Each structure stands twice: as C-alpha cells, then as structure tokens.
Amino acid sequence: MLMTALLLIAAQPPLSDRIASLPVIEEMPNPFLFQDGRTVNDSADWPERRTEILDLVLRYEYGKLPPAPGNVRAEDIVENDDHIALRLRMGPGNGFAVRTRVYLPETDDAPHPVVVRFGLDGNRAKQITDRGYAYVCFEHRELDPDTQGYDVPGPAQAAYPDYDWGALAVWAWGASCVLDYLETVPEIDIARSVITGHSRTGKAALLAGALDERFAIVVPNGSGCGGAAAFRGAEDGVETLKLITMEARFKSWLHADLAAFANDVQRLPFDQHFMRALIAPRVVLNTDALGDTWANPPGTQKAWLAAQPVFDFLDVGDRNLCHFREGGHDQLPEDMDVLLDVADWHFRDQPLMSKFSTVPVPI
C-alpha cells in the first residue's frame, strides 16, 4: 500500500511540468466551459459546473478544507455594556477556541439580520446596530496566525493534518463555525447574514461566502489580489499573483501550488470572477477605493464584469454589485453604509440607496 503510494508520487511529473501542460487562456476563462470541453446549457447544468469551479479554486489557490466540526460551543460568556464576549470552542476534541463578540441592536424585532466580520474589532459595531443589525466579530488569527515570510501552522491546521489549506481558508472555515454557533442564538436570523472583511480578511470573506451558502450577502472590502481582483492583466504597481506568493511575503495565506503560476498566470484554469460565480445566485458586493492602487481597482472591475454573465444566466443580474469610492485602503463608515444599504435592499425590500456609478475604467 505504502509502496503503491510512493510509486504514484514518483510517477507524477513535477508541478511546473504539469502546469506547462495546462492550456493558455489569455482572456478571462469562460465560467460556462467544463474542463472536458462541454458547456453549461441550462440552469440544471450549473450545479455540476459550480462544483468543478469550487474544486479548481481550492486545488490551486486556497487549499482543501475539512468539513464543519459539528461541535462548536460557546464558553466563558461575559455580558458587557454593549456586547457579549465569549469564546467559541471547536475542532477535534474541541481542542481550540476563538474569541468572539456579539453586539445586538436595541430594536425589539428579533431575530435580527447579522453582519459577521473578521477581527475582534468593536469600532464598527454602533453603526451596524443603529441600523437594526446584529454585529458579530471574531479573532480569526487564533485559528491560524497571520505571518509574513514564514509559516506557523496554527491550531486548526495542526488539528487537521490531512488538509492542505492556507491561512485564508482556515479563516474562512472559522467564519462558518461562527455561523454554526449563531444558528443557536435565538436573537439572530442567519438566513439574513452578511460576511465581510477588509484587505486580507476581505479575501477570506470572499472565500467564506463562496464556500458557505448560508451567507446571503458577501462583501469583500479592499480585497485585491487573491480576493475580488483578477489575476490576469494586472498592471505595474499592483499586487500580482507573483508578488503575493513570494516566499518572503504571503505564501502561507494560499495553497503552495499557486506560486507555480507566478510567470504563467495565463495557464491558471480560472480567475477571480469564478469566486463571484460561486456566490451566485446570492448577493456579492465588493466595496473598494479608487486610490487603492495596490489592490488593483481595474482588476476588481474586470472580475466583476466577467462574472456578470453567470448572474444573468441564473436570472439574478442585479445581485453582482461593485462599489468604488474615492480614497485609499480602508473599510470606512461609508463602505459599511453601502453594505447596510445593500442589506436593507435585499433583506428588507427597501430601494437601493447607494450609488454605483463610479468605476476605475470607464465602461
């Protein structure tokens, strides 16, 4: 048995050779084209293609994740003035935990819709609860530390040694564990849930939303490379696949094999519009800034436009949303206002208040 496995490993050509045999796709890959050349003809074909897309992005970009642990439980619950602090314990043998905070609105119309965000940061809580939403944030770095230039496997990777997930995938898995817990909280309605994060956690938010269909609205903010921005066509001065996967930078966020495409982006069998396609027919909204050059605003626009045919095909053309404001790399109150406006529109049937007319490249 072991011998067979060793022979199989030995028989595999090196990754660079296998990548060299992948077809060159200059333009954004066609989301409707199966790997074997078949095309998606009607909506009944979409689930199979969606599964294939998911396999591709996990295989080459983020790594494979374990299933939900099925044992998330709250402990050390402390009631504070404006929030409940707790730790969510999970994993094999309930071996690790993340600090989490729950802020509830004062309105008496529970169960409330909820905004889940990466990072233990109460700064945005009041703006969100004032609009009648619960706000839940968690310390994702307790699942896997955020390192640059080296990798320290965190408790989640250590507990699941058979999975090749990078940090972004661990963090995204954590967001689903938070949702598992919120399902048990009577004041919260997870059928109306939003997942968001900024920058590196914007990338994790996009992935969490792609993976977990319970998130009704997915809002990557300033997520750029490995997030909402296309890899193909990245211009000078922006973060590229080659830069993000450098040993000295953020290789540990992603699957190790992604680096093999550093000089060969055109052989990647997907691009980041596939991440949006995975979210359809749910709502995806990227909130970005025109001055956030490093995060590649034109590339985000490109992936947004390339995903639109999937939303049109599934008859939800208005659920693929892209917002740009003036300014730089941050998740500002005005970004959160756009998120909340979209949530009011989707969950509460209110007219969409935010304006969506500014794009980095005139259409």
Of these, 224, 297, 299, 360, which contacts ligand GTR (CB under 6 A)?
Answer: 224
Q: Give the shortest CB-287-to-ligand GTR separation in angstroms.
A: 15
Contact 238, 296 (CB under 8 A): yes
* Matching residue, tokens 């295989």: 59
Q: Return the number of the residue (199 or 300) whose C-beta is nearest ligand GTR.
A: 199
**What would the two tokens of residue 204 be?**
């994790």
Footprint of ligand GTR on residues 234-263 (CB under 6 A)? 239, 244
- Please, what is the minimum distance in Å from the beta carbon of residue 51 to ligand GTR? 28
Rounded to the nearest 10 degrees, how much is the dihedral formed by the CA atoms of 127, 128, 132, 135?
-140
Helix 200-211 / helix 167-182 crossing angle, nearest 10 deg = 60
- The least CB distance from residue 17 to ligand GTR, in Å, is 29
Residue 111: cis peptide before it, omega within 30 degrees of 0: yes
| Residue 154 DSSP code | -
* β-bridge mates for residue 28, sequence order: none
Verify binding: residue 269, ligand GTR, rule CB under 6 A: no
Is 140 a residue that touches ligand GTR (CB under 6 A)?
no
Q: Does 335 bind ligand GTR (CB under 6 A)?
A: no
Binding of residue 225 to ligand GTR (CB under 6 A): yes
Total residues interacting with ligand GTR, rule: CB under 6 A: 6
User: Considering the rule CB under 6 A, would residue 292 count as an interface residue with ligand GTR?
Assistant: no
| Single residue of 199, 221, 287, 354 touching ligand GTR by CB under 6 A | 199
**Nearer of residues 90 and 229 to ligand GTR, judged by Cβ:** 229
CB of 57 to ligand GTR, least distance (A): 17
Under DSSP, the state recorded for 147 is -
Task: Provide the CB-side half-sphere exposure for 2 (13 A, CA).
Answer: 0
Q: Which helix (H) or strand (E) holds 188?
A: strand 188-198
Residue ranges binding ligand GTR (CB under 6 A): 199-200, 224-225, 239, 244
